[in-house]
Structure 1
Amino acid sequence: MTGATTSALHMVAQSEPGEHRTLIVTLFSVFVAFTLAVTVWAGRKTKDATDFYAGGRSFTGFQNGLAISGDYMSAASFLGIAGAIALAGYDGFLYSIGFLVAWLVALMLVAEPLRNSGRFTMGDVLAFRMRQRPVRTAAGVSTIVVSIFYLLAQMVGAGALVALLLGITGEAGKNLIVVIVGLVMILYVTIGGMKGTTWVQIIKAVLLILGTLLITILVLAKFDFNISQLLGAAADNSGKGSAFLEPGLKYGVDTTSKIDFISLGVALVLGTAGLPHILIRFYTVPTAQTARKSVLWAIGIIGGFYLMTIALGFGAAALIKQETIIESNPAGNTAAPLLAEEIGGGAGSTGGAILLAMISAVAFATILAVVAGLTLASSSSFAHDLYANVIRKGKATEKEEVAAARIAAIAIGAVAILLGVFAGSLNVAGLVALAFAVAASANLPTILYSLFWKRFTTQGALWSIYGGLFTSVFLVLFSPVVSGEEKSMWPGVDFQWFPLENPGLISIPAGFFLGWLGSVLSKDDDATGKKYAELEVRSLTGAGAH
């Protein structure tokens, strides 16, 4: 999201007059003020650990489905997929398919068993069958690592988005915005807990769907609501003809690009079911059936959104020259803002400024909601897994645990602010890809093995989490994401030897393999099978679930 947003909004900051920036500031301010008021209201209803971590398990399937959608549809999806379609056509739309298919994995394998088996975090599921302290430590480390990488991407993106829309060019001004965004994020979590964060995500999801729907309708209206006409115009204006609507334009260049796409697809499809801020959402509903319903609602909402990215991406390709999109941002991530401005009347027009301000406000809302969800996931894991069960050995009271979670949210927020300040010039696409790869390599194997394999042991869980974590980080460090290419984090040096930008094709099988190997080489923690049988009954029926 960040590199995308930076270039797009640089152009906007230069082209929009002062009154249009005032409009943008007003929309931002209204959203922040309203959501903070909701957070304070929700915070007053937060009485105990269940309220703080799981929102009192009081949300309906529809409400939680909206919140999951708000958590999942990040600004990277909103801006990045539209740009990928605008430049790569059919190949760009494959991202939408991958993100959506991922939810079938979550629905079929994770949602209901996880809701039945755990209480607040992924560590609860692992610790049910295994030795508490080592597996909770590993789960906490993995959760925090994934969340920090995601947080860094969103924080840098927020700084770029707001600074450039407001015409702020100095580093001090950009850093101040990162600090302000971080402080708002901390307020959401520390005051509102899960209840406040959930309502922020619901509001954001509604705004995102409405904003995208409006742009979609306006685009389709330009082509008499004829999708074939839209696609034909996009193919003609792209300069690539019919190849624009066929596979292979981006990922069929050579063998490496084909393998890289498979690796990215595997990471996206499997990583979603291991993302910490998604997993904790299953604990906010009263029953496992409601958890399943919430995923079904999320699939419908997210699926509708990704269908609308067809209009966003192909609309940008049809109405804006590719040279213009590439000039503003080589990756095409400025396509959605450019499209909003174009169908509103063009640069400098009031209609264009209004639509641009609306899209910008929606993107900002998206960042705040995702950041709040990530902060809550990581602070909850620290307080519940590391503080309460490892450091205090289960002797902490609920009041102490919630206090630790709030302190952890402040600390993690401070880390995100600090990294966001110093990482403003980095290409954070690698960080997002790494977060998905870590989640799929470390978290998902341990969850599935714990739920469905009787022979899984503590050593297997540790090997899987730490092995998947190390493998994915190690391969990314020596990939084109970090060095050796123009778009790398450090383009001036070259120490890459791993050819793929995403390590999922290697690190995910490694996580599963190490989990199996560690288990077969160690003594069974549950030789009688009693714990596994109890977990199996609980995960499938909900008997004894919290």
Structure 2
Amino acid sequence: MNIHSAVTTVDNNPVLNIAIFGAFVAVTLFIVIRASRNNKTAADYYAAGRSFSGPQNGFAIAGDYLSAASFLGICGAIAVNGYDGFLYSIGFLVAWLVALLLVAEMMRNTGKFTMADVLSFRLKQRPVRMAAAITTLAVCFFYLLAQMAGAGGLVSLLLGIDTKVGQSIVIAVVGVLMILYVLIGGMKGTTWVQIVKAVLLIAGAIAMTIWVFALNGFSLNALLEAAVAEAPAGDKILGPGLQYGANPIDFLSLGMALVLGTAGLPHVLMRFYTVPTAKEARRSVVWAIWLIGLFYLLTLVLGYGAGALVGPENILAAPGGVNSAAPLLAQALGGPILMGFISAVAFATILAVVAGLTITAAASFAHDIYANVIRRGKNGDGTADPNGEVKVARRTVIVIGIVAIVGGIGAQGQNIAFLVALAFAVAASANLPTILYSLFWKRFNTRGAVWSMYGGLIAAIGLIVISPVFSGSEKSMIPGIDIAIFPLNNPGIISIPLGFLLGWLGTVTAKTAESRALAAEMEVRSLTGFGAEKAVEH
């Protein structure tokens, strides 16, 4: 076979693929069960007992961040849209610099388990925690949609399932496995799964990249020429504008969401609490940047390699559509065995990320809403029962799992990199303004926090509902109706500035000032780490 002839069929070996999948699930479940032995306290369940080193947490962050969107969605976006697809990689990577420079160390110094610990430190507990928990749940829901949809497409590709019912069953199985992982292992089990997954994913991507280069004489130019030859758009895949040329404002909106969203993602922020000190939090982010940066460079080769060896039209026609580019490239390189391995790694990727998202959402509900809003002070000492809190978190996991399954079934066929970009937009609109104001603006108050979070959340979701993503075209989530009056696919360019504006407006119009002593204490703690090991109570 000519190395640049397109792969037209999926050479499936369902028995082999199921065996590889089963082995991955068995190994990761074993890891989760071993890790679960030490889950005795709330700190163990939510923050893994703060027992991970910076490098370990860096791999776990990479495992959390390099989701199905990064591996499946971006490879497919580059294979089909070329340069415009690679912009996802650039945006996701640059976003880490924002997280490192502005929030990582300060969040670790100021918080305990969740983002709301930081936001409510010097503000009124109940309204701020409630708002933060609701925005956390919203971001996790959008992110879960992407991962579950990716799981359906991926396993359907491997098993040759091309019916909606079959893909729906696959999504349900992923949801059940996710619930088991989090119920048994908590944050420690989830973290070890993410570390193992990150190592396998990066190793697999490096191997495929070297293989693609070897087939093209280790020449990037030869690879790009081969991709151009297979692309219906020709050399347009090498320049900007193929996907976003018609509406550059949409691209600007997407870029804002990607770059600013990471620093507001609750499941990424929660990772900073699994290390013992702020110094280790900073080290973990540096490790994560190197690992994530390496991976996103590899996606450029993998994406164009899939375009050259498989062909954009064959990728789009396969079960799973654009998300099938990486597995089909693996098949073109190494046949069914490599395809099965790479797909199993992608499946482990999805499981690890959904487990991280689920424990974050459960912790937010149990710790912020149940323990600090509903049960606040019921022990007589101003605290809630930690054992009761963890029980509520476990029950919440089951509810979130069911919701994720239903949502994932509804989101089938969507590009998962694109769905994740919507989660980033919600995070950047609802969470980031409040985080930055809390850390850097002494005058910031409860009204500003609540207005910013609810306003940013409502604006982002509202604009998504009236955008072409939701209705009005064949590729929309609900193609049967048309309520699309907002012209952009991503709401970031409107909703992010609105979140900042509402935070400022709420603060300057409030008549009562917050405690200056607590504001000063938070500043000292965020900058020095002094007192960071104490429980955040006041």
Q: TM-score, normalised by structure 1?
A: 0.91
**What is residue 478 of structure 1 aligned with on the other side?**
466
The answer to whether structure 1 residue 386 and structure 2 residue 369 are counterparts is yes
- SS state at 1:515 partner: helix
The answer to whether structure 1 residue 357 and structure 2 residue 340 are counterparts is yes
| Deviation digits for residues 351-404 of structure 1 (CA, Å, limit 9, x no counterpart) | x11111112101111110010000000000011100100000143222111111
Alpha-carbon distance, 1:214 to partner: 1.2
Give matches, 1:9-88, under 5 Å: 12=10, 15-16=11-12, 20-88=13-81
* Structure 1 residues 429 and 301, CA gap change in structure 2 (3 angstroms): closer
Give matches, 1:403-414, under 5 Å: 403-414=391-402
Q: Which of 196, 200, 210 does residue 203 from structure 2 map onto?
A: 210
**What is residue 511 of structure 2 aligned with on the other side?**
523
The answer on whether the counterparts of 2:471 and 2:477 sit within 8 Å (CA) in structure 1 is yes
| Deviation digits for residues 286-338 of structure 1 (CA, Å, limit 9, x no counterpart) | 11111111011000000000111111011122223333334337963332222
The answer to whether structure 1 residue 468 and structure 2 residue 448 are counterparts is no
- 1:226 and 1:203 map into 2 onto residues whose CA distance is 31
| Deviation digits for residues 60-115 of structure 1 (CA, Å, limit 9, x no counterpart) | 11110111011111111111211222222222211111110000000000100000
Alpha-carbon distance, 1:425 to partner: 6.4
**What is residue 540 of structure 1 aligned with on the other side?**
527
* Structure 1 residues 150 and 301, CA gap change in structure 2 (3 angstroms): same
**What is residue 192 of structure 1 aligned with on the other side?**
185
- 1:288 and 1:165 map into 2 onto residues whose CA distance is 43
- 1:83 and 1:278 map into 2 onto residues whose CA distance is 24
Q: Which of 452, 455, 470 does residue 443 from structure 2 map onto?
A: 455
**What is residue 291 of structure 2 aligned with on the other side?**
301
- SS state at 1:333 partner: helix
| Deviation digits for residues 154-207 of structure 1 (CA, Å, limit 9, x no counterpart) | 223323322442234565544443332222111211111110000011111111
Unaligned stretches of 5+ residues in structure 1: 1-8, 345-351
* Structure 1 residues 168 and 82, CA gap change in structure 2 (3 angstroms): closer
Matched pairs, number? 522
Aligned partner letter, 2:530: A
* Structure 1 residues 169 and 90, CA gap change in structure 2 (3 angstroms): closer
- 2:210 and 2:416 map into 1 onto residues whose CA distance is 32
The answer to whether structure 1 residue 269 and structure 2 residue 259 are counterparts is yes
* Structure 1 residues 426 and 297, CA gap change in structure 2 (3 angstroms): closer
Aligned partner letter, 2:340: A
* Structure 1 residues 77 and 518, CA gap change in structure 2 (3 angstroms): same
**What is residue 481 of structure 2 aligned with on the other side?**
493
Aligned partner letter, 2:528: T
The answer on whether the counterparts of 1:274 and 1:439 sit within 8 Å (CA) in structure 2 is yes
The answer on whether the counterparts of 1:441 and 1:510 sit within 8 Å (CA) in structure 2 is yes
- 1:403 and 1:313 map into 2 onto residues whose CA distance is 44
* Structure 1 residues 434 and 248, CA gap change in structure 2 (3 angstroms): closer
Alpha-carbon distance, 1:524 to partner: 4.0
| Deviation digits for residues 253-284 of structure 1 (CA, Å, limit 9, x no counterpart) | x3xx2110110010011111111110100000
| Deviation digits for residues 340-359 of structure 1 (CA, Å, limit 9, x no counterpart) | 11122xxxxxxx11111112
Alpha-carbon distance, 1:422 to partner: 5.1
Unaligned stretches of 5+ residues in structure 2: 1-6, 378-382, 534-538
Aligned partner letter, 2:298: M
Aligned partner letter, 1:405: A
The answer to whether structure 1 residue 118 and structure 2 residue 111 are counterparts is yes
The answer to whether structure 1 residue 133 and structure 2 residue 126 are counterparts is yes
**What is residue 433 of structure 1 aligned with on the other side?**
421
Q: Which of 147, 158, 162 does residue 155 from structure 2 map onto?
A: 162
Say which is worse superposed, 196-205 or 487-496, in terms of deviation. 487-496
- 2:326 and 2:216 map into 1 onto residues whose CA distance is 18
- 2:345 and 2:63 map into 1 onto residues whose CA distance is 11
- SS state at 1:44 partner: helix
- 1:223 and 1:122 map into 2 onto residues whose CA distance is 47
Q: Which of 490, 497, 502 does residue 502 from structure 1 map onto?
A: 490
**What is residue 152 of structure 1 aligned with on the other side?**
145
The answer on whether the counterparts of 1:341 and 1:355 sit within 8 Å (CA) in structure 2 is yes
- SS state at 1:334 partner: helix
* Structure 1 residues 131 and 10, CA gap change in structure 2 (3 angstroms): farther
The answer on whether the counterparts of 2:321 and 2:413 sit within 8 Å (CA) in structure 1 is no
The answer on whether the counterparts of 1:456 and 1:524 sit within 8 Å (CA) in structure 2 is no
| Deviation digits for residues 28-69 of structure 1 (CA, Å, limit 9, x no counterpart) | 111111111111111101121111111111101111011101
* Structure 1 residues 311 and 288, CA gap change in structure 2 (3 angstroms): same
- 2:86 and 2:414 map into 1 onto residues whose CA distance is 26
